[in-house]
Amino acid sequence: MRKKVIAANWKMNKNRGEAESYVNDFLPLLGDINAVDLEIIICPPFTCLNTLHVALQKSCVKTGAQNLFWETSGAFTGEISVPMLTDCGCSHVIVGHSERRHILDESDHNINRKVKSSLAGALIPILCVGETLQERQNDLARQVVKEQLEKALFEVDFTAGNLIVAYEPVWAIGTGINASPDDAQDMIAFIREQLAQSYNHELAAATPILYGGSVKASNMHDFILKADIDGALVGSASLDPREFSEIVRSVKNA
């Protein structure tokens, strides 16, 4: 059975003091939830990684990064490597988020290099794929997602539990507009089919695939009940510890 996963993407929000305060508020709200129930990951800004890791050490919550560079060291001003991230306690890293694709012009080729680097360095990539509103309206959603998946995983070998995929329709991120649970299930089932074709059915069945797109406590239950949706990559709703804890509990109780 696939493990349920809830990952928080804080984006460019919170300083170290705010991160500590968040943990102090968030952990008591989890109650008896543990790593057996589901995997919980918080991806803060780089400046908060070590602070968050230390604060979460005695809990079931893991720390992830929002990005990485594919080389382990060198003259790459402003970048951060896998060894640096693992040194800060990271177990996961977000790769190919739509904001990096569309705002920062990140290419499929570089996303592929980041996936390979994270796997080689024992970080679990949370690979993001998703279409824009125009692509969806032009009936290109499946084609776009298939191409993003194929290019990101070009010549990539992974085993069960070493990769997470997040489907994030670009038109539903930070807009207050959601894909319906049926829309999300349809695309996520398609992604699982593509993984089965590229690898095998067993690996596809074992790979967690998350939904991300204006997820909040009030709608998470409807998404998690779908057969192929294994959790969520949560943006703005994860910035509030109570809201995020309610999302976690909704998944745990489904």
Give me the pLDDT at residue 78, please.
Answer: 97
- Taking phi over 0 as left and psi of -120 to 50 as alpha, with beta for the rest, 209 belongs to beta
Identify the three-state secondary structure at position 24.
Answer: helix
Q: What is the crossing angle of helices 241-253 and 217-224, to 10°?
A: 20
- Taking phi over 0 as left and psi of -120 to 50 as alpha, with beta for the rest, 124 belongs to beta
- The catalytic residue among 39, 99, 106, 168 is 168
97 Cβ neighbours under 8 A, 6+ residues apart: 9, 66, 67, 128, 168
Residue 143 has pLDDT above 80, yes or no: yes
- The catalytic residue among 39, 53, 92, 97 is 97
Residue 163 has pLDDT above 90, yes or no: yes
Confidence class for position 126, pLDDT limits 50, 70, 90: very high
Give me the pLDDT at residue 194, please.
Answer: 98
Token pair 């129930």 is at which residue?
A: 37
Pairing of β 124-129 and β 231-234: unpaired
Instruction: Note the CATH architecture for domain 5-253.
Output: Alpha-Beta Barrel (3.20)
What residue type is assigned to position 222 of the chain? D
Enumerate the β-bridge partners of residue 125: 93
* Averaged pLDDT score across all residues of the chain: 95
**Average pLDDT rounded to a whole number, residues 218-231:** 96
Q: Could you tell me which of 202, 115, 117 has the C-alpha nearest to residue 165? A: 115
pTM above 0.85, yes or no: yes
Q: pLDDT tens for residues 41-80?
A: 999 999 999 999 999 999 999 999 999 999 999 999 999 9
Give me the pLDDT at residue 196, please.
Answer: 98
Angle CA 69–153–136, to nearest 5: 100
**Average pLDDT rounded to a whole number, residues 9-19:** 98
Q: How far apart are CA 118 and CA 82, in angstroms?
A: 6
Q: Is 150 a catalytic residue?
A: no
Q: Is 201 a catalytic residue?
A: no
Q: How far apart are CA 254 and CA 251, in angstroms?
A: 5
Task: Take residue 62 and report the two structure tokens written for it.
Answer: 């893991």
Identify the three-state secondary structure at position 211.
Answer: strand
Residue 37 has pLDDT above 90, yes or no: no
Residue 175 has pLDDT above 80, yes or no: no
Confidence class for position 213, pLDDT limits 50, 70, 90: confident
